[in-house]
A = this chain, B = another copy of it.
Amino acid sequence: MAVTLADVAARARVSAATVSRVLSGNYPVAEATRARVLAAVDELDYVINGPASALAAATSDLVGVLVNDVADPFFGIMASAVQSELGSEKLAVVCNTGGSPERELTYLTLLLRQRAAAVVITGSAVETPEYAAASAAKVGRLAANGTRVVLLGRPASAAPEGSTFAVEFGNREGGRRLTEHLVSLGHRRIGYVAGPADRTTTRHRLEGHRAALAAHGLGGDADALGRLTVHGPYTRQSGYDGALELLDREPGLTAVVGSNDAVALGICAALREKGLDIPGDVSVAGFDDLPFSADATPALTTVRLPLQEAAARAARLALGREESPAGGRHLVPAELVARASTAAPRA
C-alpha cells in the first residue's frame, strides 16, 4: 500500500486536507478541484487507509453483530439482513457467542477496541443480576465511546437511553396466540418443551403460553404446569428428548409446543418414533417460522417473527438512519401461522 493521501494530493496539486475533504464529503470543495482529486485517486488506484482514518476520526466503519451462532437460521437470517442493510458503507463483524454471557462480554470488548460505529446484539439475555450488571456496564462504556447499541430480539435491560435502542419481539403475545389456537381446537393437556430456564425469550414465550391457559381456566396449579413443562436448549435434540420425557409423564397429552421450530421438529421425530400420528394423535407447534418449517411433513404450525424486517430496522437504527420512538423501544409483532401439524384432538 504505497499510495497515500499525500501522493494523491501531490498528483492533484492540492493539499492532503483537500483530498480528505473530497473523499469524506463533509466539507465543501469546488467542483473543479473535486474532479481533479477524483481523477488522481483513480489514476493512482488509491485506497484509503481505514485504520488511519479511524484513528484520526475516532470511529471506524465497523458494526458488530453478536449472534449465538450464524449457522443457526434464526440468527443467520438476522445477521444477513443486518449486513445487507449496511451495504458497502459499513462492514459487519459477526461474532458467535454461543449464548455465553462471557463470550458476549469478550466480543463487546473487542468491538470497543475497534471503535465500532455500532453494535447489534441479538439473542435472548441471561437473567442473572451479575450478568445484567456486567452487560449494562459494557454497554454504557460503548455508548460513552459513541457506539450505538441496538438490542435485537432482547428486551432493553434497563430503560434504553441516548444511543441505545431495542427492537423487541412479541414473544409473549406470540406464545399466547399459539396456545389459544390449540385451546380453541379443543386441546386441554398441552405439553411444552421450553428453552433454557434462565433466558428472557424462554420466559416470555412461556408466560404467553400460560396466560392463554389461565384465560381459559386451564392453568391449574404450579405443579400441574411444571409437570407439563421441560426445559432444554433451543435444539432439535432437546425437542426429541423433551417429547419423550413429557409423554412419559403425561400419556394423555394431545398437543406439544416447542420453544422454537427446531425443537418442534425434534418433537415430531420423537412422536413418530412412538408410532403417534401428527396431528391425528398429537398436535405439534413451533415458534419462529423458519424457512424449513413450511416444508416439514406435516407443515409446521408456528409463530412468525418478521426477522428480516426487524433486523433491517435494527441496522438502520445502528446507522442512525431511522428515527427511534421515545424510549428507544420498538416492538415487532408475532403472527400465528396455522398449518398442518395442529388439528382438533380425537374425540
Residues of A within 8 A of B (CB): 1, 47-55, 58, 60-62, 65, 69-73, 76-77, 79-81, 83-84, 88, 91-96, 103, 106-107, 109-115, 144-145, 236, 265, 269, 292, 295-297
**Given A113-B48, A113-B49, A113-B50, also A265-B295 (CB < 8 A):** yes
**Given A50-B113, A51-B54, also A80-B70 (CB < 8 A):** yes
**Given A51-B115, A70-B79, also A92-B93 (CB < 8 A):** yes
Q: Which residues of B contact A269 (CB under 8 A)?
A: 295
Contacting pair A49 B115 (CB below 8 A): yes
Q: Across the two chains, which residue of chain B brings its CB closest to A55?
A: B51
**Given A55-B51, A145-B1, also A83-B94 (CB < 8 A):** yes
Contacting pair B88 A110 (CB below 8 A): yes
4 further interface pairs, Cβ-Cβ under 8 Å (given A70-B70, A70-B79, A91-B111) = A50-B51, A55-B55, A62-B91, A297-B297
Instruction: Tell me which of B50, B71, B73, B296 contacts A114 (CB under 8 A).
Output: B50
Q: Which residues of B contact A69 (CB under 8 A)?
A: 80
Q: Which residues of B contact A297 (CB under 8 A)?
A: 296-297
Q: How far is the CA of A65 from the CA of B60 in the complex (A)?
A: 18
Q: Which residues of B contact A72 (CB under 8 A)?
A: 76
Q: How far is the CA of A271 from the CA of B292 in the complex (A)?
A: 18
Q: How far is the CA of A54 from the CA of B1 in the complex (A)?
A: 14
Q: Which residues of B contact A112 (CB under 8 A)?
A: 1, 47
Contacting pair B51 A60 (CB below 8 A): yes
Q: Across the two chains, which residue of chain B brings its CB closest to A71?
A: B80
Q: How far is the CA of A145 from the CA of B49 in the complex (A)?
A: 12
Q: Which residues of B contact A113 (CB under 8 A)?
A: 47-50
Q: Which residues of B contact A83 (CB under 8 A)?
A: 70, 94-96
Contacting pair B95 A107 (CB below 8 A): no
Q: How far is the CA of A236 from the CA of B144 in the complex (A)?
A: 46
Instruction: Tell me which of B65, B76, B92, B145 contacts A73 (CB under 8 A).
Output: B76
Q: How far is the CA of A306 from the CA of B109 in the complex (A)?
A: 32
Q: How far is the CB of A106 from chain B (nearest CB, A)?
A: 5
Q: Which residues of B contact A296 (CB under 8 A)?
A: 295, 297
Contacting pair B91 A92 (CB below 8 A): no
Q: Across the two chains, which residue of chain B brings its CB closest to A96?
A: B83
Q: How far is the CA of A310 from the CA of B34 in the complex (A)?
A: 47
Q: Across the two chains, which residue of chain B brings its CB closest to A77?
A: B71
